[in-house]
């Protein structure tokens, strides 16, 4: 006789999420992460009037909103002004990538990025488990993204590499569009280091 715990576990739904940059994909070549970087540059210019990019500050592991804040602070923009513009900055990035992929095709989103070895095979195996004959008996397996990328940017990266169909449909996860960042200490203009905390609020739909 199966124990109640084992029986309950066998029927449980399971959610698997992946970060994007450095986990599923990596930047490559002269156009490394081109779409994402151009989206940031467009937002800085159109909303804050800054001719800049994200490489002026350390940003590895940062969420997109955190990068927006860090770069603006680096250029002397007041934090209150940046926070007041967050929605406009994020929407500017989203509008840019949508317009570019509409005119240049999904290949634009794939410039300067590539899937890491083994990623496609792993996602195919997870999809097979999710779609298999025993899925209803086992409980469903959901596969999504948990990333600091803005949601449309994260999914465009997956689509451009042919990986998006391997995720649960409709898409789900937690993104840089879903959470805010807070500074742990006042910005020091003499330092290029920033210390932040953030609260991630995954959104499953």
pTM here is 0.81
In this prediction, residues 10-36 reach a mean pLDDT of: 91
First vs last C-alpha separation in the chain:
36
Q: What is the mean pLDDT of the chain?
A: 83
What value does the mean pLDDT take over residues 161-167?
A: 97
Residue 116 DSSP label: P
pLDDT > 80? residue 101: yes
Torsion (CA) 23, 28, 31, 33 in degrees, nearest 10: 10
| Tens-digit pLDDT profile for residues 29-38 | 999 999 999 9
Neighbours of 83 (CB within 10 A): 17
Q: What is the pLDDT of residue 151?
A: 96
pLDDT in tens, 76-87: 999 999 999 999
Over the stretch 107-144, which tens digit does the pLDDT of each residue have?
A: 999 999 999 999 999 999 999 988 865 555 557 899 99
Lowest-confidence pick of 87-91, 93-97, 176-180: 176-180
Question: Counting every residue, how long is the chain?
Answer: 205
Calculate the dihedral angle through the C-alpha atoms of 47, 78, 178, 185, rounding to the nearest 10 degrees: 160
Structure tokens at 23: 């986990």
User: What residue ranges in 58-156 does DSSP mark as E strands?
Assistant: 113-115, 141-146
């Amino acid at each position: 006789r199966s124990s109640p715990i084992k029986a309950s576990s066998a029927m449980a739904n399971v959610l698997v999420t992946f970060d994007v940059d450095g986990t599923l994909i990596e930047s490559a070549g002269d156009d490394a992460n081109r779409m994402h970087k151009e989206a940031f540059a467009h937002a800085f210019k159109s909303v804050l009037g800054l001719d800049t990019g994200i490489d002026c500050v350390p940003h590895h592991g940062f969420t997109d909103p955190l990068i927006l804040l860090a770069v603006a602070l680096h250029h002397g923009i007041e934090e209150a002004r940046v926070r007041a513009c967050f929605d406009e900055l994020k929407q500017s990035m989203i509008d840019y990538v949508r317009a570019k992929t509409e005119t240049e095709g999904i290949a634009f989103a794939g410039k300067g990025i590539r899937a890491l070895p083994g990623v496609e095979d792993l996602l195919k195996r997870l999809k097979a488990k999710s779609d298999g004959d025993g899925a209803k008996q086992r409980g469903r397996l959901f596969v999504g993204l948990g990333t600091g990328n803005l949601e449309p940017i994260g999914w465009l990266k997956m689509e451009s590499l042919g990986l998006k169909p391997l995720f649960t449909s409709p898409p789900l996860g937690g993104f840089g569009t879903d959470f805010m960042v807070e500074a742990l200490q006042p910005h020091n203009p003499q330092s290029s280091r920033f210390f932040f905390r953030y609260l991630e609020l995954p959104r499953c739909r």
